[in-house]
Chain A
Amino acid sequence: MTAPLTGLDPGVIDPGAVEDLISSDASLRRFLHGLPGVDQVGVEARSAALATRSVKTTAKARAIDLAVRMIDLTTLEGADTPGKVRSLCAKARRPDPADPTTPQVAAVCVYPDLVPVAVEALDGSPVQVASVATAFPAGRAALPVKLADTADAVAAGAHEVDMVIDRGAFLSGRYLHVYDEIRAVKDVCAGAHLKVILETGELATYDNVRRASWLAMLAGGDFIKTSTGKVSPAATLPVTLVMLEAVRDYREATGRQVGVKPAGGIRTTKDALRHLVQVGETAGEDWLDPRWFRLGASSLLNDLLMQRAKAASGRYSGPDYVSLD
């Protein structure tokens, strides 16, 4: 998808052009609505076709290890306790105690108040600590509250911040409001990576997903993330495909690379491999790296570990041999 963007050719979005875009709600709307529409039938057919790709033997083994390295191991329950976060961190450091060759996951994702616990438990390991913020998952709070929430997480040592956009504002067309909010959060993040959750399950159309992706990228998001995991449907393959197209086109236009993180509903190795195939085929190999593609999941890790065990021993494994979390 490199069709010309209305009033703005790819390759010429420089910082000055962005300044123009955000000069008013109207100009931002003109740009976002000028993005080419998504062919719903086409994108669904494309991702269904890619989902039939067969990944076997050594390729599969490599894909499984890559998927493990891309996981943001997540626990976002009201009932989370420091003990649960510590056990999750132990699992992140050493996913399969029986097999030391298992790679570590990319990050652990928790609520802001549990960030100190995770930071302490992961001290000395390359596993990052990600924290959701900005009144997750609804995002229905005043901006100062959202900023305080973010600052709190960053001060506690979070390396990555997962913020939610104001879907109400987005759906009612107040794009500049959404843009300003992302900017403000980005400023508070200081050095921390900012992942912008679009909550695609509430955006209704693929066109909106594409617009929200561009909006988040223009506002400075380092990652765009599909969902909170609290709304169904969460990460579907076609939605991820649209977002992958967006990051690919955005890099072409601006030279800045943005990551993608599907989250929620990815439970099986097969799902994960389908996502990886899409990444390779849509955004390209540059994105096949934990720096640029993450999988927000919790139960997925166990399934990947069972598949690893099967590949190593030739015997199908079962849930008795992985941790219950």
Chain B
Amino acid sequence: MSTERLAVRKTYKLYVGGGFPRSESGRSYPVTAVSGGFLANAARASRKDARDAVVAARKAFPGWSGATAYNRGQVLYRVAELLEGRRAQFADEVRAAEGLTRKDAAAVVDAAVDRLVWYAGWADKITQITGAANPVAGPYFNLSTSEPTGVVCALAPRESSLLGLISVVAPVVITGNTAVVAASETGPLPAVSLGEVLATSDVPGGVVNVLTGRTAEIAPALAAHMDVNGLDLAGAPGDLARELETAATHNLKRVLRPCAEDWAAEPGLTRLTHWLETKTVWHPVGT
């Protein structure tokens, strides 16, 4: 009797609307390690998958943006808890995707968990920083508060498959937006596994949607989509970024241009405030 086990290979699918569908197109593409070895086949999302993801994100928006900031912070912290419990798996995936040493990969996963906790803490504090009681010449309260922009699509950084991904997605969702993220084309596997963590961690379905595939194929559909309100070009190659920014003008999306960013460094508030809009209300002073 043989004691050798059959290999149980994992099917890497998309994460859309809280479920794990295959690409509507039925396509997949091979993902290789930095060293060149075959890792797995990942789903190759089509424009229709992108559209479906936007629909899912739009559907999730009222519930998520209407949740209390405190609650959103708790949910994101829960994601960090679960990611912490699966550090070993993510370290392996990051190591294969980015060609790091075992120790460096573990450090990247730790940084990703810490990044989530950092952003989770900001959930119910960012409004105090960005909001204001404005002085006006009249018997009115004049209050500025920040509100989420809506559906934000992000192209995750190409090189940093997990830390970079979390660094672009966390500020989007913690401020009450919902996200569609196109994972790194070359290293999409940690993103799909992150979807599994999100699916089991109180994040309502549709709040984060993960697409894998060719960035140049998915991104134009997202950039031109009239029901998308923000576009993060972190992982867009230079020539494509310009084209996407042009496509984004049709409905005046907020665009975050790509820039050389050190994902390991403390992020600051730029990404948080970028996906917030300011609402100012006047209210008569009561007597």
Contacts and interface: CB of A to CB of B under 8 A. Distances in A.
Interface of A: 309, 314-321
A233 to B, nearest CB: 22
Contacts, number: 27
A320 B252 CA distance: 13
B51 to A, nearest CB: 5
Nearest to B54: A316
Nearest to A314: B224
B221 interface: yes
Interface residues of B, number: 11
A318 B224 contact: no
A155 B221 CA distance: 52
B227 interface: yes
A314 B228 CA distance: 15
B58 A316 contact: no
Interface string B221-235: 100111110000000
B250 interface: yes
Contact of A321 (B58, B221, B226, B247): B226
Interface string B213-256: 00000000100111110000000000000000001001000000
27 contacts: A309-B226, A314-B224, A315-B224, A315-B225, A315-B226, A315-B247, A315-B250, A316-B51, A316-B54, A316-B221, A316-B224, A316-B225, A316-B226, A316-B227, A317-B226, A317-B227, A318-B54, A318-B58, A318-B225, A318-B226, A318-B227, A318-B228, A319-B58, A319-B227, A320-B226, A320-B227, A321-B226
A27 B65 CA distance: 64
Nearest to A319: B227
Please list the 4 inter-chain residue pairs (A to B) with the smallest Cβ-Cβ separation, ordered nearest first: A318-B227, A315-B224, A316-B225, A318-B226
A190 to B, nearest CB: 46
B58 to A, nearest CB: 7
Given A315-B247, A318-B58, 20 more contacts: A309-B226, A315-B224, A315-B225, A315-B226, A315-B250, A316-B54, A316-B224, A316-B225, A316-B226, A317-B226, A317-B227, A318-B54, A318-B225, A318-B226, A318-B227, A318-B228, A319-B227, A320-B226, A320-B227, A321-B226
B52 to A, nearest CB: 10
Contacts of B225: 315-316, 318
Contacts of B250: 315
Nearest to B223: A315
Contacts of B224: 314-316
Interface in B230-287: 247, 250
B255 to A, nearest CB: 16
A202 B247 CA distance: 50
Contacts of A320: 226-227
Nearest to B250: A315
B33 to A, nearest CB: 35
B252 to A, nearest CB: 12
A319 B58 CA distance: 10
Contacts of A318: 54, 58, 225-228
Best-surrounded residue of B54, B224, B250 (most CB of chain A within 10 A): B224
Contacts of B54: 316, 318
A122 B217 CA distance: 45
Interface string B178-193: 0000000000000000
A317 B226 CA distance: 5
Contacts of A315: 224-226, 247, 250
